Structure 1
Amino acid sequence: MTARLLRFPLILILAGVAGLLMFLPMVDALMRGDSSVARAFGNSGLLGLALVVVIGLAMSGRDAAREMTDAQNLASLLLAYLLLPVYLALPFYEGVETTTYLNAYFEMVSSFTTTGATLFGVPGRIMDSLHLWRAIVGWSGGLLIWISASAVLAPMSLGGFEVTVRAEPGQDDALLGRFQRASPARRLAQITLTLGPVYIGLTAALWIILMAGGERAFVAAVHAMSTMSTSGISSIGGLQNGVSGFAGEFAIFLFLIFSLSRLTFSSDTVPTVRQGLFYDPEFRLGLMIVAGVPMLLFLRHWIGAFEVSDPADWQGVLRSLWGAVFTVLSFLSTTGFESADWQAARDWSGLKTPGLILMGLALVGGGVATTAGGVKLLRVYALYLHGQREVERLIHPSSVGRASGPGRRIRRQGAYIAWIFFMLFALTLTALTAVLALFGQTFESALILALSGLSTTGPLIHAASEEPIRLAQLGEGAKLVYATAMVLGRLETLALIALLNPTVWRD
């Protein structure tokens, strides 16, 4: 049954899963006595499932031996980010009743790409059941990235894997033999059965921990799903409005570590045996950033606090340090949650928000094949190794590199491909900034919008500038451009270029 189901296009399977998930907010709305919202989700779910069944029956007569290829799955993934939000927005549009369909589509693109930028961020603007739907869509998008990273992107040397493997982006690598032996459908089923329970279990564990910390069950569920998917979605306007306090933030901090490296939860994409998690370059670089940047921010706050407050206020000092540590990891993972002590740190120091630092963290991003966006830590590490070697050659031109085979691969070909991706990222950022400026945005607002979309860090639009950007005030053209940036940031430019490569589609 499973093998036969996986012969259908990936986007059709995802549409069926989306239809089933719509019954969860329907039940929540019924328990709250909101029949209109419940009817919107129930009707949309039944309509979507009926359409999926009809299309599935129409396609069931094709050649049974024909299976979806990796290229077709990648194309379905692109179509899912572009077209599936059209269906996901239907119950949201009917439930809100006071918005346009474009706004509902924008909201679903933001949630599904785990960006988390919202037009309905004011607490009480929409019903809790609609906030639950936003969180479920974001959580599902995070699970999709976990699965597609090893089932679709890794076999094609995309999504960051092109830095370490020998094949060119869009092609198979001989080292990943198990990916070549298993068919795409079987690989997709195995990875889903392996990672799905892990993802669900971690979300449930964080939910229970947040409830134990005093958070309301509904808010704890939304924050747990948003943390695992790094979407930063909140039904109460952020963690600072919650009641779990430091305990809740510390629990979320621990679970955000899963976004630094895929080795924290799986080794299914590792072609060789490694010595352990702490030897993983992504994880080590992420820890260095989480430790180093807060110290710089802390010293910046400390110097500024000499003239505006008592430097002996050690309680304020510790609160400032914790606020910096949590917020740095949150934006590095492209989640965008702000610590409740982040505001206290700013008040304690009397300095403005370090928006450029937060933008830089979001640009770097988290680990390869995690729910985090951005350039990714592995690409930054490859560029660092290459730069370090070039400096050594400037000092000692006749020196010989000491790296092993994999290290030489990352330092040479890996750095070359990482640099190409970084240039594509920069050119795309420039183009999107220019287009947003044409739609009436100032340079600062256009840059923040473009970077938050490409890095899938929606809360950046409120944290990176003194005057938060009001998404509701954007024109229709600017909203569509921002939605395009979110899709490009989630799927990455190299994957889109690989789809245009004729050799990828060669049978």
Structure 2
Amino acid sequence: MVVLIALTGGAMLLPAAVGFTLREHALARAFLYSALLLISLAMLIALAIRGMASRNQKFSHPFYYLAAAYLVLPLLMAIPMVEAIPGLGFFNAWFEMLSAFTTTGASVMQDAGTRPINLWRATVAWGGGMFFLVAVTALLAPLRLGGFELFGMHSRVTQVARGPAGRHLRSPLEGGYSDRSLSRMRSASAVIAPVYLAATLVLWVGLSLAGNPPVIALILAMATISTSGIAPSGALGGFVAEVLIALVLLMALSRRLWPGAQIIRQEDPRLWCDTELRIAAAILVVLTLLLGLRAMYAPLDAAFAPRLAELWGIVFTSLSFLTTAGFVSEVGRSAEGVFSGAAGTVLLALALCGGGVATTAGGVKLMRVFALFWQARREVEKLVHPDSVGGDGPRLRLLRQEGAFSAWLFLMVFILSMTGLTALLTLTGVAMEDAMIYITAALTTTGPVAQMTGPVPLDWADLSRLGLAISALGMVLGRLELLLLLSVLWSRGSWAD
């Protein structure tokens, strides 16, 4: 936590430097003084805890590390926002930072803000995306949570855990959790951070060459790699920029596109045989064909080029919401009209599906969707042919059994969380339909979906403070992986006995 506080302070120097460059001295000083404050605080805490005894194993579960980060860091990140934006208030600043750190991208600021402010929001989201990639690799993978349970079922560890007759032996959570979290996070950071930074720099250079101003290009690059969707209005900057963004968004569809993919075991090492990429491709192709036909229903004398642009807009917007980024194409401007009204629920469904396991994308995740689909396919087959034998190989058979059960458990927890939070939000005076959209956007960490779904665009600033607090809880639950919280309760319950 001390390192994270110091890194937060160091990150504030970037908007401070941009503010001084743009001659926004008051804003730049707010970030500079806050950076010095946090760096000094981190140094004092480091000196105070140096030489202390080892941590209490009672709180060594990864849930406590992640919960502490999402509770403490946004409070510190909000300090310069309060000083830089008069009238924003600490609560709204905290919501902005929590939304950015969870890569949700929801905003309560009425105007777009200055470039240093948008850069700070994008920087927080960028850091939150890298933090989650490191945490999910270092903390959730050893517990086979966060979607890893769908990949590791055919590993030797799991086969030993199942026993000779499929009987239950022991789980990684039984007998306590080995507290090597910090060392694992350091190792994961050394592998992931260079690639994460390099991809951001390459996209930044590409967007700058495509004609975007350097600061706007950096904001877009950070928002893309973190799938936060934080960008000023009208900042995408043309077809070339959208193609570059779409290529980077593909990294949010599969963990195998990131370093350290050996933690995911698959029978076929070829990238084009990746299950998550195939599912995403199928969803995008079917959706593009259906919405493309709907959009093409126009007079025959309509120009061909605008229709191609609209088709690209459908592909780009669908990919963006599937990866929970939330960008809307500016090349195919009529694509926004395609998703208007009832068709806007398509974007909501895409955000619910989510991206790949152990990526910055939120949602239910594509692999869980595939596990449920494969089990449903087998059940329908058994209804037609009751005596049939399901083949598909050992991996897919296990995916239909344990994988489908795990995916179903996550889906039920997700739905129950959505129901409970929606009910709480309606008690604050929000209409039922609007409350469901807000909570879905929060749980899937796709803030822009609130503006694209429903009869009229929704504004996060219209929520009361209690409503914003409920939505913030949804963002944290959606980012923490709900099964992680259950694992804490489960490991303290019957398994501990």
Calculate the TM-score normalised by the size of structure 1.
0.89
Q: Which of 6, 17, 22 in structure 2 is aligned with 1:27?
A: 17
Q: 1:382-397 to 2 correspondence within 5 Å?
A: 382-397=371-386
Q: Please give the per-residue CA displacement for 1:295-334, whole angstroms capped at 9, x wherever unaligned.
A: 111112223x2xxx33552122211211110000000000
Change (3 A) 1:428 1:84: same
Calculate the TM-score normalised by the size of structure 2.
0.91
8 Å CA contact retained: 2:148, 2:264: no
State the Cα distance separating 1:345 from its structure 2 match.
3.6
- Between the aligned partners of 1:171 and 1:232, the Cα distance in structure 2 is 38
Report what 1:74 is aligned to: 63
- Between the aligned partners of 2:76 and 2:236, the Cα distance in structure 1 is 35
Change (3 A) 1:171 1:392: same
More off after superposition, 134-143 vs 490-499:
490-499
Matched, 1:264 2:257: yes
8 Å CA contact retained: 1:68, 1:184: no
Runs of 5+ consecutive residues of structure 2 not aligned to the other structure:
162-169
Change (3 A) 1:311 1:404: farther
Matched, 1:135 2:122: yes
8 Å CA contact retained: 2:151, 2:266: no
Matched, 1:172 2:176: no
8 Å CA contact retained: 1:115, 1:231: yes
Change (3 A) 1:59 1:243: closer
Give the alignment's Cα RMSD to 1 decimal. Answer: 2.5
Matched, 1:114 2:108: no
Change (3 A) 1:418 1:71: farther
**DSSP-derived class of the 1:274 partner:** coil
**DSSP-derived class of the 2:359 partner:** coil
- Between the aligned partners of 1:397 and 1:462, the Cα distance in structure 2 is 47
Matched, 1:246 2:239: yes
8 Å CA contact retained: 2:339, 2:347: no
**DSSP-derived class of the 2:334 partner:** helix
Report what 1:223 is aligned to: 220
Report what 1:51 is aligned to: 41
More off after superposition, 13-22 vs 53-62:
53-62
- Between the aligned partners of 1:54 and 1:487, the Cα distance in structure 2 is 28
The one-letter code matched in structure 1 to 2:320 is S
Report what 2:348 is aligned to: 359
8 Å CA contact retained: 1:316, 1:345: no
Q: Which of 142, 151, 154 in structure 1 is aligned with 2:141?
A: 154
The one-letter code matched in structure 2 to 1:280 is D
8 Å CA contact retained: 1:157, 1:171: no
- Between the aligned partners of 1:346 and 1:106, the Cα distance in structure 2 is 27
8 Å CA contact retained: 1:70, 1:184: no
State the Cα distance separating 1:501 from its structure 2 match.
3.1
The one-letter code matched in structure 2 to 1:120 is M
Q: 1:389-408 to 2 correspondence within 5 Å?
A: 389-408=378-397
8 Å CA contact retained: 1:302, 1:311: no
Report what 2:166 is aligned to: none
Change (3 A) 1:153 1:373: same
Report what 1:448 is aligned to: 437
Runs of 5+ consecutive residues of structure 1 not aligned to the other structure:
1-10, 175-179
State the Cα distance separating 1:404 from its structure 2 match.
2.2
- Between the aligned partners of 1:93 and 1:363, the Cα distance in structure 2 is 33
8 Å CA contact retained: 2:147, 2:368: yes
- Between the aligned partners of 2:236 and 2:440, the Cα distance in structure 1 is 31
Report what 2:404 is aligned to: 415
The ranges of structure 1 where at least 4 consecutive aligned residues each deviate by more than 6 angstroms after the TM superposition are 66-70, 504-507
Change (3 A) 1:70 1:408: farther
State the Cα distance separating 1:284 from its structure 2 match.
0.7
Q: Please give the per-residue CA displacement for 1:438-463, whole angstroms capped at 9, x wherever unaligned.
A: 11111121011000000000000111
Q: Which of 183, 202, 207 in structure 2 is aligned with 1:205?
A: 202
- Between the aligned partners of 1:85 and 1:487, the Cα distance in structure 2 is 11
Report what 1:7 is aligned to: none
**DSSP-derived class of the 1:412 partner:** helix
Report what 2:468 is aligned to: 479
